[in-house]
Structures are given as structure tokens and as C-alpha cells.
């Protein structure tokens, strides 16, 4: 069964609003979670590394004030897309795992900004 869950699976919002996406590890504690974004017919692009109890580490070119990450517990990380615009429409996926060599992806969240 699934070991990583995401919620919601899809969301449609108006431009300028904020959207929160949750990523949960179901069977293990996750001190580190990763957030990816995937545009249609493109590969996954790592956005940031979420660290439990400390600040997230963002990849170059990713605005940390726009993509807020909170990793408040060992089983939950959240990504908030603030003031979303149509160009933020994408497939957002988290990944985590019980070990460095066993990283599982969540089912993804499809965001559409109108």
C-alpha cells in the first residue's frame, strides 16, 4: 500500500490566492522530505528539501517566500503556494523514505490556477 500520501490530489484556485499541500509519511518517520514540481512532458524539478524542525533548503531559482515549507512533525510537511498565478499551475509531488536509498513519491497534487 501507499507509504506517502498527499492532500489534496487536485486543486483549482483563483489567481492571487494561496494553496496548501500536505505530504505525510504513513509507515515511518521522515526527517527529510523533498518537494518537486513537474510541468507537462517535462521531468521532475526539485524545488526544496524540507527538514523537520529546521528551515527548508531551496534550490536555486525557487522563491522561498512564494513556496513556503513547514515540516513541523516527523510525518508531515506542507508546501504553501502563496499568491498563486497561472504559471504556478503544475503537478507538485513530494517524496520521502525510511532510508536514503528508498525514496517514495506521494501521489502528487495537480494545481490549476485560473
Partner 1 sequence: QKEVEQNSGPLSVPEGAIASLNCTYSDRGSQSFFWYRQYSGKSPELIMFIYSNGDKEDGRFTAQLNKASQYVSLLIRDSQPSDSATYLCALRRRDSSYKLIFGSGTRLLVRP
How many Å apart are CA 1 and CA 63, to the nearest integer?
34
Query: Pairing state of beta strands 19-25 and 32-38?
Result: unpaired
CA–CA distance, 107 with 8 (Å, rounded to integer)? 10
Q: How far is the CB of 16 from partner 1 (least distance, A)?
A: 27
32 binds partner 1 per the rule CB under 8 A: yes
CA distance linking residue 114 with residue 107, whole number of Å: 23
| 100 binding partner 1? (CB under 8 A) | yes
Query: Residue 73 interacts with partner 1 (CB under 8 A)?
Result: no
Nearer to partner 1, 42 or 112 (CB): 42
Which residues are at the interface with partner 1 (CB under 8 A)?
32, 34, 42-44, 46, 49, 91, 93, 95, 100-108
Amino acid at each position: 500500500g501507499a507509504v506517502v500520501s498527499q492532500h489534496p490530489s487536485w486543486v483549482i484556485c483563483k489567481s492571487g490566492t494561496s494553496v496548501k499541500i500536505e505530504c505525510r509519511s504513513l509507515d515511518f518517520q521522515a526527517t527529510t522530505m523533498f518537494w518537486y514540481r513537474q510541468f507537462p512532458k517535462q521531468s521532475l524539478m526539485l524545488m526544496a528539501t524540507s527538514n523537520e524542525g529546521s528551515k527548508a533548503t531551496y534550490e536555486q531559482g525557487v522563491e522561498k517566500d512564494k513556496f513556503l515549507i513547514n515540516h513541523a512533525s516527523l510525518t508531515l510537511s506542507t508546501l504553501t503556494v502563496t499568491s498563486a498565478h497561472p504559471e504556478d499551475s503544475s503537478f507538485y509531488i513530494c517524496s520521502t523514505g525510511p532510508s536514503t536509498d528508498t525514496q517514495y513519491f506521494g501521489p502528487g497534487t495537480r494545481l490549476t490556477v485560473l
